[in-house]
Amino acid sequence: MVHIDANEFFREFTLRICSSLDIEKALGHCLEYIRGIMPADKLLLSVYKPDIGAIEVVAKAAAVNEEPAHLITALPPPLRHVIENSDPHPRVRIVENIVEDEMIGFVTKKFDLGESSAMISRLMIEGNLVGFLCVCAKGRDHYPEALGELWKLVNEPAAIALANSLRYRELLTLKELLDDDNRYFQARLREVSGSEIVGGHSGLKAVVEKVRKVATLDSPVLMLGETGVGKEVIANMIHDLSDRRSKPLITVNCGAIPDTLLDSELFGHERGAFTGALSQKRGRFERADQGTIFLDEIGELPLQAQTRLLRVLQSHEIERVGGMRTIPLDIRIIAATHRNLEKMVTSGRFREDLWFRLNVFPITIPPLRERREDIPLLLDHFLRKKSRELKITNPPHLSPDVIDRLTGYYWPGNVRELENVVERALIEQRGRGDDGSFRFAGWLAGKTPDAHHTSETAPNNIVPLDAAMATHIRGALEFSDGKIQGPGGAAELLGVNPTTLRSRMDRLGIQFKKRRA
């Protein structure tokens, strides 16, 4: 052993252990220093977690390059008793051979230290146990009592550095959670701010009535319907009308997550759970705690994931990948699919018990061709919405013949197809006449109603009175340049009292301002 002044050793070790908030990096600096003073192959820094009765190695420094350490070892009750209740504890315990020591041998067996000697410092702050600092070297009896007295000097700086590192790690985790939640909330705000139930008083009236019945409950909801009918908008409405509306609504597209990442995305993972898991991550279920999770395209889940989802529904608990404890959840589950789950159950592609759990309150959303009375209202809504997005100052209006043709179309892509068609037509700006109308000429040229469906749905081609009235009033307002009363105003053109016209505009949701010259 090289003779070293105790004050110099304390000063140099303290400078190094406090040199970085990255405790693993700081521990590496300490190892480089003490290797010139005493035998040292590894330094291990660990914390004791009384809530789960385990020791977690949070940092490791080695004389040869090794992967960063992150190991949690659950202790049997006798060893927990030694840590928690034995009194008094030595500030430094010298172990002649790690393999033969009951405590450190149990904790470090996964590091394959073999026959090694060690000195273990019990790190305390204000009488509270913070963790342990262990130095070890290959071979027996490397640490005499004189080195043990020297090693006692580093207890306090090592304890402070460990406590600061843990607080810093907790701060980073909280910041990550805050940033994560903020991104989700901003996304939800952007979606909800532009979402409204168009047709809630006509074609979707029965759906809205079901939503109002179930929204305030915590029962699972299963939404069925073709792709593009607006299942996510209905899920937003259920959440907004529920007691959970102030909590997050997390959307998961089950068909868009690769099978290899599904567990990590849904349930989260612990640091070191697999290659590339450099930090702890919360899953979608955990993010939705106290709120709502919307599982879109639930029929795309593989059978293994269905089994794990069933457990969540039954126990309201999850385990992160690589985790040792269960996490209780308080969530409301809304699922949706365009598939026939009953047929999938029969063919063995969907678990029957999961189907029964999800199918508590099914809501079937009809396709657009079965609620053609909503098409004029949706056209008007998307024209105004897309005009705002594309910065078109004066949205065009639709002529009656175009409305008739659009209403008669089969719309296999449902509301999503209609929205895309409106946006594409606005971008192309084709077929616009001198009267400011928009005729969708480029798109309608190759589109004709499906003959098979026309005969079955012909009565639905009749435009509802309110929709026709709204279109007529908007046409008069366009012609009068937004003027309502007075000579040449819309009221005069329509032959009604201006007060009556304003009242009808309010009832129909028509907002119109006079254009500036």
The predicted-structure confidence for 105-128, as pLDDT tens digits, reads as follows 777 766 667 788 889 888 888 778
Task: Give residue 480's pLDDT.
Answer: 81
Instruction: Give the SS3 label for residue 490.
Output: helix
Q: Global pTM? A: 0.54
Question: How many Cβ atoms from other residues are within 10 Å of residue 441's Cβ?
Answer: 14
Where residue 142 falls (left for φ over 0; alpha for ψ -120 to 50; beta otherwise) is alpha
- C-alpha distances in Å from residue 327, one per residue of 166, 285, 287, 354, 482: 21, 10, 12, 21, 59
Question: Is the pLDDT at 462 greater than 70, yes or no?
Answer: no
Q: Which domains are present in the chain?
A: 6-168 (3.30.450.40), 194-366 (3.40.50.300), 369-508 (1.10.8.60)
Q: Are 283 and 326 in contact (CB under 8 A)?
A: no
Nearest 5°: the CA angle 372, 373, 377 is 110
Looking at residue 5, its amino acid is D
Closest by CA to 504, choosing from 517, 514, 513, 494, is 494
Q: How confident is the model at residue 456 (pLDDT cuts 50, 70, 90)?
A: very low
Question: Is the pLDDT at 362 greater than 90, yes or no?
Answer: yes
Task: Give residue 481's pLDDT.
Answer: 79
Measured distance CA(184)–CA(329) in Å, rounded: 19
Least confident interval from 343-352, 358-367, 404-413, 508-517: 508-517
- C-alpha distances in Å from residue 208, one per residue of 234, 235, 348, 408: 8, 11, 33, 25
pLDDT in tens, 267-284: 888 877 777 777 778 889
pLDDT in tens, 140-163: 888 888 888 888 888 889 888 888
Residues 6+ apart with CB under 8 A from 204: 197, 365, 366, 371, 374
Task: Give residue 189's pLDDT.
Answer: 55
Task: Give residue 460's pLDDT.
Answer: 46
Question: Is the pLDDT at 455 greater than 50, yes or no?
Answer: no
Q: Are 286 and 268 in contact (CB under 8 A)?
A: yes
User: Alpha helices of 86-137 — where are they, by DSSP H?
Assistant: 102-107
Question: Is the pLDDT at 175 greater than 70, yes or no?
Answer: yes
Task: Give residue 195's pLDDT.
Answer: 47
Looking at residue 321, its amino acid is V
Task: Give residue 355's pLDDT.
Answer: 93
pLDDT in tens, 213-246: 999 999 999 999 999 898 988 998 999 899 998 8
Question: How many Cβ atoms from other residues are within 10 Å of residue 67's Cβ?
Answer: 8
Measured distance CA(349)–CA(401) in Å, rounded: 47
Measured distance CA(473)–CA(505) in Å, rounded: 8
pLDDT (average), residues 131-147: 88
pLDDT (average), residues 289-314: 90
Tokens coding 290: 């106290």
Measured distance CA(282)–CA(294) in Å, rounded: 17
The mean predicted confidence, pLDDT, of the chain is: 81
Question: Is the pLDDT at 484 greater than 70, yes or no?
Answer: yes
Sign of the CA dihedral with 262 first, then 268, 273, and 279 last:
positive
Task: Give residue 49's pLDDT.
Answer: 84
Residues 6+ apart with CB under 8 A from 378: 198, 199, 368, 415, 418, 419
Write phi, then psi, for 399 (nearest 5 degrees): -80, 155
pLDDT in tens, 397-439: 777 777 888 888 888 889 998 888 888 888 876 445 445 556 5
Does 60 or 449 have the greater pLDDT score? 60
Number of residues written out for the chain: 517
